[in-house]
Amino acid sequence: MIDGVVFDLDGVLLDSEQVWDGVREQLVRERGGRWHDHAQRDMMGMSSVEWSRYMHERLGLSETPEELSAEVVRRLEQLYRERLPALPGAREAVERLAARWPLALASSSNRELIDLALELLEVSALFKATVSSEEVARGKPAPDVYLEAARRLGVEPARAAAIEDSRNGIRSAAQAGMRVLAIPNRHFPPGEDALAEADVVLGSLGALTADAVEPG
């Protein structure tokens, strides 16, 4: 039995993974760092503490991790306010599931970006709890952010469903013991090994129905 649903944000409600990638790559190149082909994959799912440290230590930027995180957030906030990259059907999917279950959100985004995105999407009031991975010890694929979301939601992880799109996100939710519904990210699709850890694989947010979450 499912007692609550936990959404991811980037790649599930927002078509934003490539936006993050573009902002960080641009910053690295502007500041004379060493961008490489695996940087996006390496940082996907990391908390802001983890990816800003990665940019400082591995990509060679002189600014502190705190300064890098703040600058990336500033640039993303500006882009979101200009045009929020919401995926088709995002608001409707949240509204559908909120009509049946309490909702939480477990995201690798910074707290400021989570709050802004939900406000602009006009679904803030539908989420009982939201968690940024900067608020827990480890980012995805560790289960910390999903375990904390379940705790704040007041449900057992085994009685929660998670909606994910990425390799690290699927593994994070699966390690937390949740029922995992995967909607593969079209820009950075998870491999078959990660999809095998999901309980259900859906083609789009339109297929994310109450029956998909908890078959009758």
Q: For residue 63, give the 3-state DSSP assignment.
A: coil
Would the CATH topology of 4-15+85-213 be identical to that of 17-82?
A: no
pLDDT tens digits for range 96-137: 999 999 999 999 999 999 999 999 999 999 999 999 999 999
CATH architecture of 4-15+85-213: 3-Layer(aba) Sandwich (3.40)
Chain centre to alpha carbon of residue 147: 14
What is the per-residue pLDDT for 47?
Answer: 86
Closest CA to 20 of 76, 63, 61, 66: 76
Instruction: Tell me which DSSP letter residue 14 carries.
Output: B
pTM for the whole thing?
0.93
Q: What residue ranges do the domains of the chain occupy?
A: 4-15+85-213, 17-82
Backbone Cα Rg of the chain: 16
- pLDDT beyond 90 at 8: yes
Q: Is 35 exposed, middle or buried (0-12, 13-18, 19+ CB in 10 A)?
A: middle
Q: Which residues pair with 86 in a beta bridge?
A: 14
What is the per-residue pLDDT for 205?
Answer: 98
pLDDT tens digits for range 44-84: 878 899 999 999 999 999 999 999 999 999 999 999 999 99
Identify the CATH number of the domain defined by range 17-82: 1.10.150
